[in-house]
Amino acid sequence: MKRLKKSLFVGSILGCICVIGVGIRTGFAGNELYIFSMWYNRLIQGLVIWLDEKIKMNKYIGGFVNLGFFLSTGFADNLGFIAGLFYGPIIEYFLSKKE
């Protein structure tokens, strides 16, 4: 349960970073659904990485989750896709740290 909370927390924090970045790039007004979707995608990355604990492919699984979002944008958000590729390893790094 601790790992789940940690993965969702890290995913949501990374999502907040994305919200700021996307909001600055595209503007906050009129893009609320897109910005929320970006945050939600990062949260789901954290969840899927938590689920994948047994397979140990976590850093790659985050990229596959990110690809789903990138496809839904019509390949329009290249910067968001590239950032998302780094988030899988970042989430896994925080999950693998011993307290």
Phi and psi of 8, rounded to 5°? Answer: -70, -35
At residue 54, the pLDDT reads 64
Q: Which residue has the higher pLDDT, 10 or 92?
A: 10
User: Cα(17)–Cα(25) distance, rounded to whole angstroms?
Assistant: 12
Residue-wise pLDDT tens digits, 4-14: 899 999 999 99
**Domain ranges, ordered by start, for the chain:** 2-96
Of the pLDDT bands very low, low, confident and very high (cuts 50, 70, 90), residue 80 is confident
Q: Give DSSP secondary structure letters for 22-91.
A: HHHHH-STT-HHHHHHHHHHHHHHHHHHHHTTTTT-HHHHHHHHHHHHHHHTTS--HHHHHHHHHHHHHH
For 14-53, write each residue's pLDDT tens digit. Answer: 999 999 999 999 899 999 999 999 999 999 988 888 887 7
pTM of the predicted model over 0.95: no
